Amino acid sequence: MSILKKISILSFLFVAILANTSFAQVPNDIITSFNTGDSKMLAEYFNQNVELVVMDDDNVYSKAQAEQIVASFFSSFTPVKENAFTIKFNSGKEAKSVIGQLKTTKGEFRVYFLLKKDGSKEYIHQLRIEKQ
C-alpha cells in the first residue's frame, strides 16, 4: 500500500473519530426521543420556557405546551423505524447548537436545537423542526 493511501486512510479515521466525539456531547435520550417520536422523553430536556418552531407554530411556550405541540407533530409525522434522526452539525461547549435530519413516514425535516447547561443538566432552550 502506498504511503499516500495510508495517510488518506489515517486522515479519514481521525476525522471520523472527531465527528463521533463531538456528536457524543448530545444526550442519548434526546437522540432516542427523535428516533422513536417520544415527546415525553424529549420534554424532560425542555427548559421551563422553550422557543419553539414546529411547522406553523412559532412562539415561546411553557414546557407542558411545547411537549403537546411536539407530541402532535410526532403523531402526524411518525419517525421511520431505524435511524430516523441523524446529527449533521454540533458545536459549542456551554451552549450547544445542534442541527440534525429527521426522517418521517411523510418526509424529511431539518431539526435545530440549542442546549444550555444549568447545573449538571442540559436543557433545550430553542427547538425548530422545519420541512426540508
Fold held by 26-131: Nuclear Transport Factor 2; Chain: A, (3.10.450)
Q: In the chain, pLDDT over 90 holds for what percent of residues? A: 67
Work out the pLDDT band at 5, boundaries 50, 70, 90. low
| Nearest alpha-carbon partner for 123 in 29, 21, 57 | 29
Q: Which amino acid is at 56?
A: D
Q: Cα(41)–Cα(58) distance, rounded to whole angstroms? A: 21
Q: Per-residue pLDDT averaged across 1-18, rounded?
A: 55
Q: Read off the pTM.
A: 0.80
- Give the DSSP H or E segment for 48: strand 46-54
- Annotated domain spans of the chain: 26-131
| Nearest alpha-carbon partner for 75 in 60, 44, 54 | 54
SS3 at position 37 = coil
Cell numbers given for 87? 446529527
Average pLDDT value over all residues in the chain = 87
Label the pairing between strands 85-91 and 121-131: unpaired
Give the range with max mean pLDDT: 6-10, 67-71, 90-94: 67-71
